[in-house]
Structure 1
Amino acid sequence: MTDAASQRTPQQALAALLAQHAPRSLLVVGASQFPALEAFAQAHPACELAFAEPGPLPPALAARRFDLALLVDCLEHLPKRQGLELLGGIRNLNASRLALLVDLPAAGWAATDLFSLALQASERFEREGQVLSLFTYDLKDYKQVPDWLNAKFWANPENFGKYWW
């Protein structure tokens, strides 16, 4: 992410994210609804939507797995420790993909707090002095394969990829 503000609105970014991933099951955690979600729900009636208020997930939702989790207007309403537990729990147990739209100063968080949870800064939005940041996590993109992990650097290149012990 660059320091420059995105040309898109947060709603456009969320709509693009939903269109890109087209989840069949979606967990939405937040204090309010947002237009991009309503449009997606109307366009994809087969998508199973689950909603939760900011805070610990209800047991029924905490026991499920979702294609995508969206957190919008959430961290601003939670103490930092509870927010860390919520994000880590959803990332580890409930969804392989996560998107978080947050006003970092209002929530009392720094970007490094989210980087420590393996979230990546995707976009930054500015309007009338307020700055919103979009952070994403995708398990498939979480860790890049190191450049040294190949046959060239293997002790016995002829055995690279053949044996696992």
Structure 2
Amino acid sequence: MAEAELPTLQQRLTAMLADVRPERLLLVSDDDALAQVLGDHAPQRLAGAEAWPRLGDCPAASLAIVDGEAAVPPADVTPLLGRLRDVYAGQVLVIGPASPREAWSRHTLIGLGFRGFGATLDGNHRRPWYQFDIVDYKVTPDWLSPRHWAHPELWDKFRW
């Protein structure tokens, strides 16, 4: 998709929220404009620097949105995203930073189970999006179905 065809961050967020309709939203961001876009969804908001230390005080959310431009210390990025993914949210959306940073690299996010989720324009900067959704994170393999497990018809025929 050409840069001119990319939606703005606000347009994409508004469309996504209309589609997802989260019951409870958690926002990790220092950007007041981003919080205003999410305003009618009444998110719980954590500033970047306090996100990891204060995460334990937050209730679970159906959707967590993490702004890669927030002032999250680099050492806290991986534990924060892992904890959001594992405990605090069924779906986590990361809006990557406009300029590359090691803590927010594509490799780090893919390693945590996130998938590329498109990109948006924020001013003149392209910002990649990544998503983790527990619902479609892993497709159940065929061998893990009940028809491959207990075979009562074979119990007396073979020695296991």
What's the TM-score once normalised by structure 2's chain length? Answer: 0.75
> 2-side partners of 1:106 and 1:67: how far apart?
28
Taking a change above 3 Å as real, the CA distance of residues 106 and 78 of structure 1, as seen in their structure-2 partners, is: farther
Where does the alignment leave 5 or more consecutive residues of structure 2 unmatched? Answer: 155-160
Identity between Structure 1 and Structure 2 (%): 23
Moved more, 120-129 or 65-74: 120-129
Q: Which residue of 1 aligns with 2:15?
A: 16
Q: Trace 1:56-135 onto structure 2 (pairs within 5 A).
A: 56-58=52-54, 59-61=56-58, 64-74=59-69, 77-103=71-97, 105-108=99-102, 109-126=104-121, 130-135=125-130
1:125 partner amino acid: T
Question: Is the 8 Å Cα contact of residues 85 and 92 (structure 2) preserved in structure 1?
Answer: yes
Aligned residues: 149
Distance 1:148 1:29, change over 3 A: same
Q: Which runs of 4+ in 1 moved over 6 A?
A: none
Q: Deviations over 1:105-136 (max 9, x none)?
A: 44333211101111111002357763211111
Indicate yes or no: 2:143 matched with 1:148. Answer: yes
Highest Rg: 1 or 2?
A: 2
Q: Is there any run of 5+ residues in structure 1 with no aligned partner, and where?
A: 160-165
2:60/2:88 contact within 8 Å kept: yes
RMSD of Structure 2 on Structure 1 (CA):
2.9
How many Å apart are 1:13 and its aligned residue? 1.7
